[in-house]
Structure 1
Amino acid sequence: MKRRNFLRAAVIGAGVTAFGNTLTPGAMAAPAQNGPSPYGPLQAANANGIQLPAGFTSRVVARSGQQVAGYTWHSAPDGGAVFADGSGWIYVSNSEVNPGGGASALVFDGDGVITGAYRVLSGTRQNCAGGAMPWQKWLSCEEVDRGFVYETDPWGGASTQRPAMGRFTHEAAAADPVRGAVYLTEDTTDGCFYRFVPTTWGDLSAGTLQVLVAGSATSGSFTWATVPDPDGSPTATRNQVAGAKHFNGGEGLHYANDTVWFTTKGDNRVWQLDLVNDTYELAYDDSLVTNGSAPLTGVDNVTGTSSGDLFVAEDGGNMEICMITPDDTVSPFLRVSGQSGSEITGPAFTPAGDRLYFSSQRGTSGSSSGGITYEVTGPFRR
């Protein structure tokens, strides 16, 4: 039985694309296994040092420390998202440096021409991942002890600190408009998985921070419990609720109709939450690949497409973005060569689903000042 039965893409809000799926109620499946890519094998590295399937091309859209549309692109590009902007779009990217951090944006017209670039968040610390909200905002998350979430404007307006969402080592965020919640990962070896339920949907100034409570198994049922002190001092949020389930290094996070996927780098797993039935299971675990060597290691940022494919970026591994398809097959989609001292970050698709953006955080230099942001164009499944 296939794990996921996917719907076509749905738009939540005026411009942020969310990709939908529905789980068979109560169904559990073995984690994804190695298999052929629906796009075929990777070709030889192109001029950008990227191996892609036949029919796909890449270009560099920004380099750290260099001018793009009159703006100096930030160091250590990390988590990112795309927002519709008229006939074009905006790609927002975090900067994982401390101090400094923040986030920047690239503006594209309907033909993919870069028409602008600017800063959307400044003066923060180690902004790693985050998440696009359906009300056209980017949540930029600080990956530091008692870090904050910042609600930013992709068009360059004011940013707002959101302490009600908890102070911990934030990683990624994803909105669930059905349950009126925002899910959050925590990047520590004993981190938790959270949801923030705003008092008013679309207003993150007040609400309730909750933590996932479950047993120690890799599948089962879960509940939510309120975190007594979201400020996390003197007791860290992850240690305030008895029975809270701990995960080894929470990273990327993706929501699609009634399902959440998130990655944990410490054990190379992709977890799946069925939000209708309140159950969880493993969508992928490199140690459970039984038909050859595991193609996906160093799991990090994750995004999805309207066809139901998950795209998981590697921090380390062999610098790939790998796919997990609806029939639970995992395979490389692209590989970046000559950049082993880097990591792949910020994968995000345009609303039309025909372009993929991502960064190599430290590029060929292995330094945060050497980041490179790319665009891949081709016949993506939609």
Structure 2
Amino acid sequence: MIDRRSFTVGMATTAFAGLAGCARMGGMAARSAAPSTALVPDPAGLLDLPQGYSYRIISRMGDRMDDGYVVGDRADGMGCFPGGNGRVILVRNHELQARHHDTGPFGTRAVPTSYDRSADGRALPGGTSTMIYDLRSGRVEAQYQSLAGTIRNCAGGVTPWGSWLTCEEDVTRAGSGVSRDHGWVFEVPAAAGRLVDPVPLTAMGRFNHEAAAVDPATGIVYLTEDRSDSLFYRFLPDRPGRLAAGGRLQALALDGVDDSRNWSGAALPRGTSLPARWIDLTGVDSAQDDLRQRGHRAGATLFARGEGVHFGNGEIYVCCTSGGAAKLGQIFRYRPSRAEGKPGERDAPGSLQNFVESDDPAMFNFGDNLTVAPNGDLVVCEDQYTDVVDNHLRGVSRDGTLYTIARCRLQTELAGACFSPDGSVLFVNLYSPAMTLAISGPWAAPRRTG
């Protein structure tokens, strides 16, 4: 059960630049301070941003796409790829379930290529949509459905070889209103130009997948799981860049710390780093949805709702939505071994640090998707679990300082934050009603603290 905490009103808002009112999150508790500069209220009532930043809506739920389908609702994780000649390609998840046909992309239209269908024969509405966007003109040049027939495509991750790993946050079994098992990762080439053949990457495990991140130096894939008793996984591919060829799935373990959530005492205090080891997992198709429990019994460490994971600055950042003593969220930083995934790793292991742990909802409240900005800071999307929400984009500097980048004025979550390859534009989704925004501004500028 997710603890639906009471909502704290009057959140402090700060600008992306000129931020004296920050909270340091290394080895001390977060403290709110009066903002040095207020965000500029959006006349459209959508997204407040600092002075010098602006957004445009580039795609909305219900927009007609080039293939005759429409943009579905519940836009979640998203990846951005170079498209050549000033263009980028965005691959966007839609966290739609079987009951969401009315807000999905297809309606009653035929779908030639679908992983699964509901009992009435219709393609399941979950999947991905792809758009080609011109950074110079600010126009979407093409938009189409790229994956169909999956359930609750939550987050995912980009690969160095130009594809998007889209993850099902659902473990519905065949016979429960659908004909196939769910809970898989699928790969969508960014430049596919059409619906792709949906092939589940079963060696990467069947569980409540959230996000994925690939280390370009090794091809190893790191995976999160959205459960209150989740594990943090890595996939060692037999052939880097060819995930369908199989590999080994492992879970992270910290000696002496079998629970990183800090719900009952600070087992892993803020700022603490510990050497990591990895445990091989068996039965990864997990028909009983017990992979995390078996992994924990074998020694793997528990995490609190692992969500966003991203590779940047040579490290892996992992957001745990309800982690920490206050259950407001944690961010872990995993530093890979020089021999990551190889025999020498035992002698020089990677390390995991409790990088951020919030105790102040005004500074960090239920972080979800995250990415790395051109200046090296993190950008984190909030997804609060309260009846009334006040979600923000939060920034985290390299030393763990928190600040506010933007405030969403609608009652929905922010999701899918990703930067254009040149760092000039941050793309982000509003979950429902689905919209994709392109935010321009001086993203590469160092953040000032005074």
TM-score computed with the length of structure 1 as normaliser: 0.84
Give the direction of change, closer, same or farther, for the CA distance of 1:117–1:235 in structure 2 (3 Å limit): closer
* CA offsets 1:12-62 (integer angstroms, 9 cap, x no match): xxxxxxxxxxxxxxxx94278568899953111232521100011111111
Partner of 1:149: 185
Q: Choose 1 or 2 for highest CA Rg.
A: 2
Partner of 1:47: 44
Decide which moves more: 66-75 or 115-124: 66-75
1:142 CA displacement: 0.1
The separation in 2 between residues aligned to 1:37 and 1:380, in whole angstroms, is: 23
Task: Note the 1:26-175 alignment, pairs <5 A.
Answer: 29-30=26-27, 33=30, 40-47=37-44, 49-67=46-64, 72-87=70-85, 88-99=87-98, 100-111=125-136, 112-145=138-171, 147-156=183-192, 157=194, 158-159=196-197, 160-175=199-214
Partner of 2:253: 213
1:258 CA displacement: 3.4
- What amino acid does structure 2 have at the position aligned with 1:106? M
Contact 2:374 2:443 in 1 (8 A): no
The separation in 1 between residues aligned to 2:64 and 2:54, in whole angstroms, is: 23
| 2:376 maps to 1:308 | yes
Partner of 2:408: 336
Correspondence for 2:280 among 185, 204, 226: 226
The separation in 1 between residues aligned to 2:240 and 2:32, in whole angstroms, is: 41
Contact 2:218 2:240 in 1 (8 A): no
The separation in 2 between residues aligned to 1:198 and 1:164, in whole angstroms, is: 9
Query: Match of 1:184, SS?
Result: strand
Partner of 1:197: 236
Over the aligned positions, Cα root-mean-square deviation in angstroms equals 2.3
1:306 CA displacement: 2.6
1:141 CA displacement: 0.3
* Residue segments in structure 1 that go unaligned for 5+ positions in a row: 1-27, 363-369
* Residue segments in structure 2 that go unaligned for 5+ positions in a row: 1-24, 99-124, 172-181, 260-266, 324-328, 338-348, 446-450
Give the direction of change, closer, same or farther, for the CA distance of 1:377–1:110 in structure 2 (3 Å limit): closer
Partner of 2:216: 177
1:68 CA displacement: 5.3
Query: Match of 2:243, SS?
Result: strand
Task: Note the 1:242-281 alignment, pairs <5 A.
Answer: 242-267=298-323, 268-276=329-337, 277-281=349-353
Query: Match of 2:369, SS?
Result: strand
Query: Match of 1:240, SS?
Result: helix
Query: Match of 2:404, SS?
Result: strand
1:221 CA displacement: 2.1
TM-score computed with the length of structure 2 as normaliser: 0.72
| 2:422 maps to 1:381 | no
Moved over 3 A (4+): 31-41, 68-71
Partner of 1:321: 393
**Percent identity among equivalent residues?**
32
Partner of 1:22: none
